Amino acid sequence: MQPEAQVPYAQLEVAVLVSVGRHPLTGRARRADQDARGVELALSLDKARITLLHAGTLDEQSESALRGYLGMGLPQLTLVEQPPGADVVPALADMLDEARPQLVIAGERAEEGEGSGLLPYLLSERLGWPLVSGLAGVEKVENGVATLLQALPRGQRRRLQVRLPAIVTVDAAAATARQSAFGPARRGEVEVETAAVVWDEAQSEWSVAPARKRPKRLKIIKATSARERFKAAAAKAEGGSGQVLTDVTPEQGAEAIFKLLKEEGVLR
């Protein structure tokens, strides 16, 4: 109907940053869960040209993991060759600066290594693009402005508008990734590009161990005497501080409840 409005945005350039994940139980390399959700989000966009971008090495394990993304129905993946222990931010920033996609999608954090979730933020600061974190979905992209749905805790959602180009990270509330098909995964191409290597020196000074179970917080009773200790141990439901309204009409009671709900901001 309106071809002139659609022509400039016929193709939305989307780059998805993918990483090699780690299965939480077996420890094997796999496609990372959140990155796969990111690919799924990109696939759900209308008229998008998707490029997959990964920075790392190509070996047997990582290749099978990366082909997991290709099996979602994408023909090609660009791999920026970076040895383990390298800082991938400069290489990725250079790549993105060159390719200039309109939307960059990344997972929230890696399943391997430091996993601090800092990479999209560093890229955003370096490229000067706005960043929106914790996305549940993209509602629409129009005239260079994307309307996004951000996932908040407690199942809430918030609508945001951001001017493209932008970097977004995907929340675990986004749509689950489709299965990876074996045939397309085999047929897909992994294009290897070389880039300058910047070493991450700080990381060598850390000591990394498998996660220890965190100590459970104890209920500390600060009592100076036996009577107080006994009282604390034998205490039933706390309270007494609450306000009790007796002999009120239903309207008065409802009024009080309404005021509290209003104060807490749970009424919309």
Q: Which of 3, 183, 206, 235 binds another protein (CB under 8 A)?
A: 206
Residue 55: beta bridge partners?
80
| Residue 142 C-beta-side C-alpha neighbours within 13 Å | 5
Query: Which element (helix H / strand E) includes 3?
Result: helix 3-6
Residues 151 to 180: which contact another protein by CB under 8 A? Answer: 152-163, 166
CA distances from 170 to 33, 117, 150, 162, 236 (A): 10, 11, 9, 15, 44
> What is the residue type of 28?
R
Three-class DSSP category at 219: coil
Residues 15 to 54: which contact another protein by CB under 8 A? Answer: 22, 24
Rule CB under 8 A: say whether 222 interacts with another protein: yes
Strands 131-142 and 166-170 turn out to be parallel
CA distance linking residue 203 with residue 76, whole number of Å? 32
Rule CB under 8 A: say whether 147 interacts with another protein: yes
Rule CB under 8 A: say whether 62 interacts with another protein: no
By beta-carbon proximity to another protein, the closer residue of 50 and 89 is 89
The span of 44-52, 97-105, 182-190, 239-247 binding another protein (CB under 8 A) equals: 239-247
By beta-carbon proximity to another protein, the closer residue of 74 and 135 is 135
By CB under 8 A, the count of residues binding another protein is 85
Rule CB under 8 A: say whether 84 interacts with another protein: no
CA distance linking residue 161 with residue 139, whole number of Å? 10
CB 150 within 8 A of CB 134: yes
Rule CB under 8 A: say whether 233 interacts with another protein: no
Rule CB under 8 A: say whether 204 interacts with another protein: no
- Candidates 129, 200, 142; CA nearest to 169 is 129
Q: Which of 134, 135, 170, 188 binds another protein (CB under 8 A)?
A: 134
Rule CB under 8 A: say whether 208 interacts with another protein: yes
Rule CB under 8 A: say whether 235 interacts with another protein: no
Q: Which of 132, 181, 190, 195 binds another protein (CB under 8 A)?
A: 132
Site string for another protein, 104-123 (x = CB under 8 A): -----xxxxxxxxxx--xx-
